[in-house]
Amino acid sequence: MTLAIFDLDNTLLSGDSDHAWGLFLAELNVVDANHHRREQQRYYADYVAGKLDIHEFLRFQLQALKDNDPADLRQWRERFVSEKIVPMISQHAYDLVRRHRAQGHTLMIITATNRFITQPIAHKFDVDVLIATEPEMVNGRFTGEVQGVPCFQDGKVTLLHTWLTEHGGDLNGSWCYTDSHNDLSLMQVVDHPVAVNPDHVLTAEAKYRGWPILEFQHPNTHA
């Protein structure tokens, strides 16, 4: 198999699904809007600076899953994807995935955002293989904890190699698309790393290493 690996937030999407989910819950008065917005901004600044404490962030981000009934969460998620995520999907992103599918590649989304949020988004792209941060469930309810390794920075590489071992795959001819320098360790293990709307650190690294850089224009969306 030839893998085509896609980051999700700010790569296939023109925004951050984790951040958008928090704002959406604030609109529904499920979380305190001012507190949530302030904490999201603080964590995002740490993410951009490459110093995010992923465990601290996930405790914050998964609290809403812990505090609410799964049936309500699923109902809210359906609205969230329709109202907030679909407008973030550009034609350029859709076409990129479609080109790799046409070449017979195995499509994979790998994202730090938790599976509860990202599973239906992966379905929007018709991507069956999703590696994401796994929110723990016990007796049908979310605990607010993470199951296994968070899918972030080197954790993405760890989880990717686990998947490859389980499925008898390898990285020969593999592709990876991402916007963030937090994914540099992932980009370095594939044969064809591509920066998509990269942050300034990744831009500099891509230019230094001769990696292609794609700049998606996001106004044209694919429903």
Q: Which residues are catalytic?
A: 7, 9
Contact criterion met (CB below 8 Å) for 193 and 181: no
Q: Please name the residues in contact with 131: beta carbons below 8 A apart, sequence gap of 6 or more.
A: 108, 109, 110, 111, 151, 156, 159, 160, 163
Phi, psi of 173 (to 5 degrees): 75, 10
Query: What is the spatial distance between Cα 25 and Cα 20, in angstroms, rounded to a whole number?
Result: 9
Run of H or E including 9: none
Contact criterion met (CB below 8 Å) for 147 and 134: yes
